[in-house]
Amino acid sequence: MNNGKHCIRLFHLVAIRYSRQATFFIFHFSFFITHYSFTFAQTPTREQLVGTWIGVHTEWDLDFACALPIYIQLDADSTYHLGMVDGSASKLTSTWSILGESVRLDTIHFAPRLVSLQNELLRIGTNYPMVFRRFNDIPLDSATVYEQLNGRIWQSDSLTISLFANGQASLENTLAKQRTAHFWQLAQFSKSIFLIIRGNQHNRDSGYKALWQINSVSSKQLQAIGWNGCKIAAEPFRLVRNLSPGDSCRPSGFQTCDNCFRQLWAESTLTRGQKRYDIVQLFTKYYQPVNQTGESGLVRIQFVVNCEGERGLVEINGFDEDYCPRQFDPRITNQLSTICSEHIATDQSIRQSDSASGLFRDISISLAFRLKDGRITEILP
């Protein structure tokens, strides 16, 4: 029990820390990322490490990665730079070295083999591996690139990108037909041009969605280097058409504001401490018992409320008294869902990340009810 509480506390601390800062990107969930945790690679040599490394993604879990908008520059004279690819923050400068099998970056001494080179990718760590690719400078004229990209729809085998003249952008998974809305801009890194996709359907905040280095662009073709959902590649895009004034940039469904959102990280606990009182009162007041023998067991309702108060990703599951999955009478589940929708999802205070600043965040709610013959007997913690 103590271990459990410790882990939950630790989880919440880091989840708050990272979910707020939201720097990363997930392309789509269906692709499994190769798991290297147990691969024992050799520590690379100094000569192999010298150069500039562009962040690709952080592998937070086996099937969940977020964009890594940073670069690492390791100079031959032992100078180390850590900066943002789009130059939006002052870079950190220090030194680096290799001591035996261990690499040191600034004051961080990595254990042997935790900095490794695999298939031209620099992988750092096995807890939450950070993946970088070697940077090759491709000189391009930024104004020309902007002129070619602006106001057009580009499509690869897996992705359709619409780049609106007002700075909005949409990304659509070609197969799943799922579209998310963001903002785009170009950033110059050395002599290269990067296409930066960040923000959400509402504003430019909430982190990075994707960063692609433009390899080449013409009026009909675009080639961009980056993570395409399964590998790092120079992805070819073809011009679909110019955007017309009638085209709007909208997500195809529910979209979280945070580009690196995970339900378990963003869970708002409403059934512990003092908040429990309000939840118990709420369901006591609004739930009308459905007196029906056999409607017993657990109903679990999970949903997400984004920073703007929109509700989505609703999932309702039932379990019988032996914890086997089962369906409950819709009069029960519909009532519970409606109460959640009308009285919990609309409560601004649960989305407020900082009462002083008035900022809101995406939150995930998970409630479980114990029922006996259609009556709520307990709300689980």
Residues 286-305 that bind other proteins (CB under 8 A): 298, 300, 302
Whole-angstrom distance, CA of residue 65 vs CA of residue 348: 29
Give min distance, CB of 290 to other proteins, in A: 20
- Asked if 356 is part of the footprint of other proteins (rule: CB under 8 A), the reply reads no
- Asked if 374 is part of the footprint of other proteins (rule: CB under 8 A), the reply reads no
Whole-angstrom distance, CA of residue 343 vs CA of residue 339: 6
- Asked if 124 is part of the footprint of other proteins (rule: CB under 8 A), the reply reads yes
Instruction: Map the footprint of other proteins across residues 210-249, applying CB under 8 A.
Output: none
Q: Exactly one of 139, 245, 246, 325 binds other proteins (CB under 8 A); which one?
A: 325
Output the six-digit token pair for 75. 């100079």
Total residues in contact with other proteins, by rule CB under 8 A: 87
Enumerate the H helices of the chain as residue ranges. Answer: 2-21, 46-49, 142-149, 275-286, 330-339
Whole-angstrom distance, CA of residue 168 vs CA of residue 69: 19
* Stretch of residues binding other proteins (CB under 8 A), selected from 172-180, 276-284, 328-336, 337-345: 276-284
- Comparing CB distances to other proteins, the nearer of 100 and 273 is 273
- Asked if 21 is part of the footprint of other proteins (rule: CB under 8 A), the reply reads yes
- Comparing CB distances to other proteins, the nearer of 156 and 304 is 304
Instruction: Map the footprint of other proteins across residues 173-212, applying CB under 8 A.
Output: 185-187, 204-205, 207
- Asked if 69 is part of the footprint of other proteins (rule: CB under 8 A), the reply reads yes
Torsion sign over Cα 178, 151, 244, 307: positive
Question: Rounded to the nearest 10 degrees, what angle do helices 330-339 and 275-286 cross at?
Answer: 130
Give min distance, CB of 42 to other proteins, in A: 16
Instruction: Map the footprint of other proteins across residues 92-121, applying CB under 8 A.
Output: 92, 105-106, 108-111, 114
Give min distance, CB of 226 to other proteins, in A: 17
| Interface characters, 35-64, with other proteins (x: CB under 8 A) | x-x-----------------x--x-xxxxx
Identify the DSSP state of 111: P
Output the six-digit token pair for 144. 């020309």
Whole-angstrom distance, CA of residue 271 vs CA of residue 280: 8
- Comparing CB distances to other proteins, the nearer of 130 and 224 is 130
- Comparing CB distances to other proteins, the nearer of 10 and 76 is 10
Give min distance, CB of 270 to other proteins, in A: 10
* Stretch of residues binding other proteins (CB under 8 A), selected from 41-49, 153-161, 258-266, 339-347: 258-266
Give min distance, CB of 52 to other proteins, in A: 15
State whether residue 303 is helix, strand or coil: strand
Report which residue type is found at 350. I
- Asked if 330 is part of the footprint of other proteins (rule: CB under 8 A), the reply reads no
| Cβ atoms within 10 Å of 144's Cβ, excluding its own | 12
Q: Exactly one of 86, 235, 295, 362 binds other proteins (CB under 8 A); which one?
A: 86
- Comparing CB distances to other proteins, the nearer of 179 and 370 is 370
**Does residue 177 come out as left (phi exceeding 0), alpha (psi in the -120 to 50 range) or beta?**
left
- Comparing CB distances to other proteins, the nearer of 173 and 269 is 269
Instruction: Map the footprint of other proteins across residues 156-175, applying CB under 8 A.
Output: 167
On the CB side of 360, how many CA atoms lie within 13 Å of its CA?
19
Give Cβ neighbours of residue 223 (< 8 Å, ≥ 6 apart): 214, 215, 216, 217, 234, 235, 236, 237
359 and 368 Cβ atoms separated by less than 8 Å: no
- Comparing CB distances to other proteins, the nearer of 146 and 254 is 146
CA 235, distance to chain mean position in Å, is: 21
Output the six-digit token pair for 51. 């150069």
Output the six-digit token pair for 55. 């962040």
Whole-angstrom distance, CA of residue 73 vs CA of residue 116: 16
| Cβ atoms within 10 Å of 166's Cβ, excluding its own | 8
- Asked if 274 is part of the footprint of other proteins (rule: CB under 8 A), the reply reads yes
What are phi and psi for residue 60, nearest 5 degrees? -70, -30
Give min distance, CB of 129 to other proteins, in A: 7
- Asked if 23 is part of the footprint of other proteins (rule: CB under 8 A), the reply reads yes
- Asked if 357 is part of the footprint of other proteins (rule: CB under 8 A), the reply reads no
Q: Exactly one of 100, 288, 322, 357 binds other proteins (CB under 8 A); which one?
A: 322
